[in-house]
Amino acid sequence: MRNHPKTSCFSRKWLPAVLCPLLFVIIGLALPVYAQKQVTITASDGVKVYADFYPAGGNSQPYILLFHQAGSNRAEYAPIAPRLVKLGFNCLAIDQRSGGGLWGQENETVGHVGHNGNYSDALKDLEASLAWARSSGNNGKVLVWGSSYSAALVFLLAAEHQQEVAGVLAFSPGEYLDASDAVHDAAAKVSVPIFVTSAKDRTEIAAAKSILAVAPARQKTQFVPHIAGVHGSSTLREDKNRAGESENWLAVEEFLDNFRQKD
């Protein structure tokens, strides 16, 4: 009986040997570089908040809590969190109770609540994520990061939890909440380092500048895009800000360098 050749990477007759390493490279690229764990947090009013945790290492590494914009969900940070992990930050991206189906993904928290909540109520979700970071055995610093309406809420969060929040990053902050001047009033109590940026838009730039001006923090950074910038944290996504994404990342990384755990 005639023997048939084996169809393996080691059979030159069926597949050139040079292609075998390439197959392993392609397979490797398809695998996730950073682990991602789904977690569920309970807010003070019993609402279940759904989140993705991206670990960078041990609990002594600093944490960044990532909050999305209106109509959005934690997938806003799918291309952003892995880069922050690479910089040495544990990241938690949550679905707030005010959000929606951007990025081809539904907001799980909104889905389980059964309706889209208002911006102010979502503060409970931010507080729950801060409590989770502290209860997880983390002894590193915790930074809070907001996008659009949540960029307003992070000032309220930092003002109410001054001993727990080590830094604030706000992407397109403004007075988006029901109470007038609520964000300015909160910012006036925030003394930790603050980074703000916005779209390359006169109104957004002025709003961010006004909020930053009242904060008593010694370290205050406002990055105004020179090339291009878009609303919220999307300014760091290549799919939304191809021209200016790199410029914005440089500014963010320079600010975050103050919190990185040094070797």
- In whole angstroms, how far apart are CA 180 and each of 147, 214, 237? 19, 15, 31
State mean pLDDT over 214-226. Answer: 97
As to burial, measured by CB atoms within 10 angstroms (0-12 exposed, 13-18 middle, 19+ buried), residue 263 is exposed
With a cut of 50, say whether residue 174 has pLDDT above it.
yes
State mean pLDDT over 190-202. Answer: 97
State mean pLDDT over 227-249. Answer: 97
Local structure of residue 96 (DSSP, 8 states): -
CB 67 within 8 A of CB 144: yes
Q: Is residue 46 left, alpha or beta, with left meaning phi > 0 and alpha meaning psi from -120 to 50?
A: left
- In whole angstroms, how far apart are CA 44 and each of 73, 103, 130, 143? 20, 28, 12, 21
The per-residue pLDDT for 154 is 98
> How far is Cα 87 from Cα 18, in angstroms, rounded to an integer?
35
What are the boundaries of each domain within the chain? 34-256
The per-residue pLDDT for 262 is 72
CB 192 within 8 A of CB 165: yes
pLDDT band at 135 (very low <50, low <70, confident <90, very high): confident
**Number of Cβ atoms within 10 Å of the Cβ of 181:** 12
Q: Chain-wide mean pLDDT for the chain?
A: 88
Token representation of residue 192: 């930790």
Cβ partners under 8 Å of residue 172, min gap 6: 69, 147, 148, 151, 197, 198, 199, 204, 208, 231, 232
What is the third-level CATH fold of 34-256?
Rossmann fold (3.40.50)
With a cut of 60, say whether residue 21 has pLDDT above it.
no
pTM assigned to the model: 0.87
The per-residue pLDDT for 261 is 79
Token look-up 């990477």 returns 9
State mean pLDDT over 29-55. Answer: 83
Identity of residue 5: P
State mean pLDDT over 161-186. Answer: 96
With a cut of 90, say whether residue 77 has pLDDT above it.
yes
pLDDT band at 95 (very low <50, low <70, confident <90, very high): very high
Token representation of residue 57: 């290492």
> How far is Cα 163 from Cα 148, in angstroms, rounded to an integer?
24
State mean pLDDT over 68-96. Answer: 97
Q: pLDDT tens for residues 207-219?
A: 999 999 999 999 9
With a cut of 50, say whether residue 22 has pLDDT above it.
no
